[in-house]
Amino acid sequence: MDNNLTLYAGIDGGGSKCSAILFNHKGEFVAQGIAGAANAARDLPLTLHSIVSSIELALKHTQLGLESLSRIHVGAGLAGACVPNVNAKLLSWKHPFASFKVASDLTTACYGAHAGNDGALLIVGTGSSAARMQQGQLSQFGGHGFVLGDKGSGAWFGRKAVAITLEALDGLIGFSPLNTHIMTTLGVNSSTDLLQSMISASPSQFAALAPGIIALAKQGDKIAIALIEEGVAYLDKLCRRTLQDTTLSLVLMGGLAPSLEPWLSSLVRERIVKALAGPEWGAMQLMQSELRLAC
């Protein structure tokens, strides 16, 4: 690879991981690196570390050394980037790159999913949120974080399942396979053990329980089914609000999206299309464009 050519990096940072893709001056894929969590509102120092680490890991897949960091132009879409004081800190960061621009992960994901055209998006992973892009302006719905929102997300499903299991252990509700699964997965035998294990758990730790919950719902566990139905009812409402009074197509993204799609209403499912590009491409393209990186 020519050491003199300009490189671009698109970053997709969320509650579980930070993905960086390097692109050449033609916008072609060069390499990818994946590092730790990058929710800027939850842990800004970790987010900055994950951004640099993910790009360094991508560079290791090329013939370029780490000294190339200083000539990479970086566009980042990050969870939590739209919180005003967080955004200000991100923009004032003394980064090691040639340039650095940042927007919300919804902005870059929506831009990528519809290849820069108008469209809508639902992200269901560790967190949950929806957005629509119209004439360069992004409208966001949901996505208020683990403490105040993110209903229907992996973290929400995991937290609810742990809470339900504590109720079962207290004898307030009957025991179900869901409760047994939670205790077996976490290696606990009592409510005290479960509380100690999860009282300080991160959203990503709760989200790690979600695939098992969805699997139990598919197997017919009534408690798991009720939990999935409650979460998906919210996600469906979120999608319908996002699509309201538009003819926009909807892209589903995030680790839980494929598993939850069949539970959505037919009204929402008929608007779903496949993503045209990923959020990293969207971040790279927005970084190069003259568009205002709006949240």
- With 50 as the cut, is the pLDDT of residue 99 above it? yes
pTM over the 0.85 mark:
no
Give the model's confidence band at 64: pLDDT under 50 very low, under 70 low, under 90 confident, else very high: confident
Cα–Cα distance measured from residue 197 to residue 181, given in angstroms and rounded to the nearest whole number: 15
- φ/ψ (deg, to 5) at 97: -100, 170
Q: What are the sequence ranges of the domains in the chain?
A: 7-115+276-288, 119-273
Instruction: Tell me the C-alpha distance between 41 and 142, whole Å.
Output: 15
| Residue 57: partners with Cβ closer than 8 Å, 6 or more residues away | 20, 33, 34, 35
How does residue 286 score in pLDDT terms, banded at 50, 70 and 90? confident
Mean pLDDT value of segment 277-283: 92
Residue 183: closest CA among 171, 204, 168, 202? 168
Yes or no: is domain 7-115+276-288 CATH 3.30.420.40?
yes
Position 3 confidence tier, pLDDT thresholds 50, 70, 90: low
Q: Please, which residues bridge with residue 251 across strands?
A: 121
Domains 7-115+276-288 and 119-273 agree in fold: yes
Confidence check: pLDDT of 203 > 70: yes
Confidence of residue 89 (pLDDT cuts 50, 70, 90): very high
pLDDT value for 33: 96
Cα dihedral 237, 261, 216, 229, rounded to 10, equals: 20
- Region of poorest pLDDT, from 106-115, 137-146, 156-165: 137-146
Query: Over 70: is that where the pLDDT of 294 sits?
Result: no
Domain 119-273 has CATH 3.90.1150.10: no
Share of the chain above pLDDT 70, in %: 97
